Amino acid sequence: MIKSLNILVLTLLLAGCYYDKQEDLTPSQVACNTDAVTYSGKVLSIVQTNCYDCHGSGNTQGNVNLDGHTSLKVYADNGKLAGAINHRTGFVSMPQGSGKLSDCDIQVIEKWISDGSPNN
């Protein structure tokens, strides 16, 4: 009886350590899709989520306005966007007061920049 109970407890403990999601098991190995990166399809949502609180319409901290393609493209083209999101020396790290964007979000933005920062 005790042996059976021990086996049951051990089985339950081991089952609790099982991961059924790939991203939970190996988050760094999940591929980032940078195919067909567009401003409206991917970049805009990243910027809205991570930048607009401080640099969106009506709120331009540090005199930086990232609201809309035309405004964002200025910072993409002059290298300040990539420098800030990568926390490079000589740039103000963004988002300020928090960690870097996810590696995938950075790759998406860098792909968009390398494609010429199109308004697509």
| Predicted pLDDT at 27 | 53
What stretches in the chain show pLDDT beneath 50?
A: 5-6, 8-10, 12-14, 17-23, 25
Reply yes or no: is the peptide bond before residue 27 cis, omega within 30 of 0. Answer: no
List all residues 6 or more positions away from 32 whose beta carbon is below 8 Å from its beta carbon: 103, 104, 107, 108
- pLDDT digits 0-9 by tens, 47-81: 999 999 999 988 889 999 999 999 999 999 999 99
CA dihedral (45, 46, 51, 55) in degrees, to 10, reads -50
Q: Who contacts 80 (Cβ-Cβ below 8 Å, separation ≥6)? A: 91
Q: State how far the Cα of 21 lies from the Cα of 27, in Å rounded to an integer.
A: 10
Q: Which domains does the chain have, with CATH numbers?
A: 38-120 (1.10.760)
Please enumerate in sequence order all residues whose Cβ is within 8 A of that of 23, keeping only pairs 6 or more positions apart, or say none: 30
* Rounded Cα gap, residues 98 and 26, in angstroms: 23
Please, what is the average pLDDT of the chain? 84
